[in-house]
Structure 1
Amino acid sequence: MFGWFRSKPTCPVSAEEKAWIEQRFTWLIEQFGMQRLSKGALILPTTDYFPDDYDHSHGSIRGLMNRVAEYMDIDPAILRLRFYEEARPEFEGMWTEGSTGRYGQSGDKHEIWLELNTLENPLNAVATLAHEIGHVLLIGERRVSPDEEDHEMLTDLLTVYMGLGLFPANMVMQEDYWDDGPVSGWSMSRQGYLSMDMFGYAFALYAIARGEISPKWLSQLRLDVRSACTEGMHYINETGDCSCPFVTPR
């Protein structure tokens, strides 16, 4: 009788989003292997993983790119770092949305382009680098075509699989408040291609596939992504409703 008012588990994403995440997560495991998922480290924003000082100079950004590449099993020698600058809004108090990085190929090099105005925050730089280096694994190695409709979303999902998803997940929504004497304002920007709930559900698959019941890294996720992750884990474990054959409910 005490279970009468127990809430029914709910999935944090829509049925369409759930099906896409599970299908593509399965595809990533088939492409890169279950061992890479289960044995790979989840990279945290700590000095254990990023011991070098960051002053957003070209040298420190290059060092950051090399480290992210190594975490994603990419030889940094095949990467060429480039920079560009977009026009920025002239006033605040608005929603802004612009690119933070681009990917290209030139000869035998993979070009990683970073937008100069987004590099002051090292967490944002890592998020962008993880996404753009993800293109090397997917587009550069011809696993997918850039013409595929979901290739950008898939690249965000790849960062979760590779253990660097915490950075783009925490950077999905950013708010900036400023105060300059008599004038103050704010701006809000969105980054990436997966929503916070979609990132959260992807992390739920990641945790369960790795056999993690109560991951310590959950505390490092922003609250809304963390909530979606715990809700997703609870939903899968309670209902068994997951099409990914590599994810075994506990």
Structure 2
Amino acid sequence: MLFTRARLSIDTALREWMDEQWDWLVEKLDMGDLSEHAIIEPTEEWFPEPWGATREAVESLFGRVVEYAEVDPARLELALIEQQEEMPPAIVKKDDKVLLPLEITELRDPTVVVAILARKLALLRLMDAGLDLNRDDLPLLMDLACV
């Protein structure tokens, strides 16, 4: 049937958690009026450069994601690494820089690269806001912060 009311496919407890955490995120990350923010999607409109799994293409994409995430690029360094047996850390603090490790095997798909970088930058912003990294809901909060 057309024009039926959409229903969320999440349970009430998760919806309530999202509503509560969303308000906290807006305040803690100083996001202001959300209606003034654009919705950034991994499309040619927002990422117009041609993609190739090259260092230059990755650096360009990284620069855009950092800009859209409103993080100071001077504090960041992208570290392209070989595939690891175990998942690499999301963020590594090194001197006055924050390293964002990215496995070379992830470079096949720019959408995946954008998602990974956005999640890492969301974690960094949450850390900057004083988030307790031992929270059980940290992975969910990182995903919500990407929105």
Residue 55 of structure 1 is matched in structure 2 by 52
Match of 1:125 among 97, 113, 122: 113
1:41 aligns with 2:38: yes
- Is residue 42–residue 114 contact of structure 2 (8 Å, CA) maintained in 1? no
Higher-RCO chain (CA-CA 8 Å, sequence separation at least 6): 1
Residue 236 of structure 1 is matched in structure 2 by none
Question: Could you tell me how far apart the structure 2 residues matched to 1:120 and 1:27 are?
Answer: 35
- When residues 54 and 20 of structure 1 are mapped into structure 2, their CA distance, relative to the original with a 3 A threshold, is same
What SS does the corresponding residue of 1:102 show, helix, strand or coil?
coil
Match of 1:86 among 80, 84, 87: 84
What SS does the corresponding residue of 2:90 show, helix, strand or coil?
strand
Residue 94 of structure 2 is matched in structure 1 by 106
Amino acid at match of 1:22: D
Match of 1:147 among 124, 134, 137: 134
Question: Could you tell me how far apart the structure 2 residues matched to 1:126 and 1:57 are?
Answer: 15
Question: Could you tell me how far apart the structure 1 residues matched to 2:10 and 2:17 are?
Answer: 10
Gaps of 5+ in 1: 1-6, 88-97, 161-250
Sequence identity percentage: 27
Cα distance per residue 1:156-187 (max 9 Å; x no partner): 10111xxxxxxxxxxxxxxxxxxxxxxxxxxx
Gaps of 5+ in 2: none
Higher strand share: 1
1:65 aligns with 2:62: yes
1:114 Cα deviation from its structure 2 partner = 0.8
Cα distance per residue 1:180-226 (max 9 Å; x no partner): xxxxxxxxxxxxxxxxxxxxxxxxxxxxxxxxxxxxxxxxxxxxxxx
1:77 aligns with 2:74: yes
Question: Could you tell me how far apart the structure 1 residues matched to 2:20 and 2:144 are?
Answer: 11
Runs of 4+ in 1 over 6 A off after TM superposition: none
- When residues 46 and 101 of structure 1 are mapped into structure 2, their CA distance, relative to the original with a 3 A threshold, is farther
1:138 Cα deviation from its structure 2 partner = 0.7
Superposition TM-score, scaled by structure 2 size: 0.85
1:8 Cα deviation from its structure 2 partner = 8.9
Amino acid at match of 2:80: F
What SS does the corresponding residue of 1:119 show, helix, strand or coil?
helix
